[in-house]
């Protein structure tokens, strides 16, 4: 398939030929696999079809509020079993970025949840700090208090570097869209006039890590997500194929607004399930 589309697709001949070249999937999680604590109905059949077709998949999420093990346990509760090493979070990606950028003993202040703090401080390479930090890191924080923003603001204004796990302004939940990491970024940028280094999607870092884990080339992989400005753009920056599913944040109207065009747009995962089920039965 060579042309992008802004409408939900059926599996016609051209689309089928394009899908036949897929050797692996990188799946966003929130809005693609589940919303809040509710599994999206088509997910189990889709993953089963991939398993039957022998197509590997990894999961890449900008959410820094949970650890890899947290996600394994959450998916288990929802009836889906995946190995811990198949899950890539922005907390892990941020910790990896920091270790590759700053020396042992760097002082770090974190605005975020336990999983992000654990990823950064677990091995003792970095030292927890407050307004005297060398680096401020922010992620989604569902227990955010003003004092955290105040400390981060003072550290950044005193010269600390600013790194953010991701810039997603919203977060899909069962109740609807709620403030995400990008809302905290917006508050700190407004208070400091300092733009952060963004580690998560749309940076291609997590996509490239997933490709390495699956042992495939970018041209053989699909980045499948619900957000144009993170999932789809990250896939494009990594030179992967891109599919947007309309079970999360963005709609076909947003494609026209943003100018970010996925290779394929689908209503749900059901059409991909049909294709890969047929693919498995034909082999």
Instruction: Convert the pLDDT of each residue in 111-161 to its tens digit.
Output: 999 999 999 999 999 999 999 999 999 999 999 999 999 999 999 999 999
Together in a domain, 187 and 207: no
Give residue-wise pLDDT tens across range 226-264. 999 999 999 999 999 999 999 888 889 999 999 999 999
Give residue-wise pLDDT tens across range 198-228. 989 998 988 988 998 899 999 999 999 999 9
| Domain limit, last residue, from 155, 179, 198 | 198
Say what the pLDDT of residue 170 is.
84
Q: What is the pTM of this model?
A: 0.78
Residue 132 is classified by DSSP as T
Share of the chain above pLDDT 90, in %: 73
Together in a domain, 100 and 187: yes
Say what the pLDDT of residue 51 is.
94
The yes-or-no verdict on residue 2 having pLDDT over 50 is: no
**Whole-number average pLDDT of the chain:** 91
Lowest-confidence range among 3-7, 27-31, 99-103, 113-117? 3-7
Question: Is 28 in the active site?
Answer: yes
Say what the pLDDT of residue 1 is.
45
Per-residue pLDDT averaged across 27-50, rounded? Answer: 93
Is residue 72, in this structure, part of any structural domain at all? no
Question: Is 104 in the active site?
Answer: no
Together in a domain, 250 and 206: yes
The domain total for the chain is: 2
Is residue 47, in this structure, part of any structural domain at all? yes
E-strand stretches of 34-187: 34-35, 38-39, 57-61, 87-89, 107-111, 127-128, 135-138, 161-164, 170-173, 176-179
The residue range of the domain holding 156 is 91-198
What is the b/e burial string over 166-192, where b = at least 16 CB atoms within 10 angstroms of the residue's CB?
bbbbbbbbeeeeebbbbbbbebbbeeb
**Any idea what the CATH number is for the domain that residue 95 is in?**
3.40.50.1000
Is residue 263, in this structure, part of any structural domain at all? yes
Residue of 28, 134, 161, 168 marked catalytic: 28
Together in a domain, 194 and 107: yes
| Domain limit, last residue, from 198, 220, 249 | 198
């Amino acid at each position: 398939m060579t042309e992008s589309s802004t409408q939900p697709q059926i599996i016609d001949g051209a689309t089928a030929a394009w899908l036949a070249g897929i050797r692996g999937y990188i799946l966003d999680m929130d809005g693609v696999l589940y919303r809040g604590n509710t599994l999206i109905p088509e997910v189990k059949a889709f993953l089963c079809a991939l398993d039957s077709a022998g197509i590997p998949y990894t999961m890449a999420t900008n959410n820094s509020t949970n650890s890899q093990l947290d996600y394994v346990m959450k998916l288990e509760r929802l009836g889906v079993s995946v190995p811990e090493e198949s899950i890539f979070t922005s907390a892990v990606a941020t910790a990896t970025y920091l270790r590759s950028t700053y020396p042992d003993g760097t002082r770090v202040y974190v605005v975020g949840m336990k999983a992000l703090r654990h990823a950064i401080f677990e091995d003792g390479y970095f030292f927890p700090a407050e307004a005297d930090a060398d680096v401020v890191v922010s992620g989604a924080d569902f227990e955010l208090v003003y004092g955290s923003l105040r400390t981060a603001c003072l550290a950044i204004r005193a010269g600390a570097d600013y790194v953010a796990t991701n810039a997603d302004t919203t977060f899909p939940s069962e109740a609807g869209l709620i403030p995400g990491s990008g809302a905290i970024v917006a508050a700190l940028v407004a208070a400091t006039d300092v733009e952060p280094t963004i580690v998560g999607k749309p940076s291609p870092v997590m996509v490239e890590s997933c490709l390495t884990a699956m042992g495939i080339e970018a041209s053989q992989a699909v980045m499948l997500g619900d957000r144009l400005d993170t999932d789809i753009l990250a896939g494009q920056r990594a030179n992967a194929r891109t599919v947007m599913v309309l079970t999360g944040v963005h709609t076909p109207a947003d494609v026209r607004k943003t100018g970010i065009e996925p290779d394929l747009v689908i209503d749900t995962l059901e059409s991909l399930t049909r294709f890969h089920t047929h693919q498995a039965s034909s082999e």
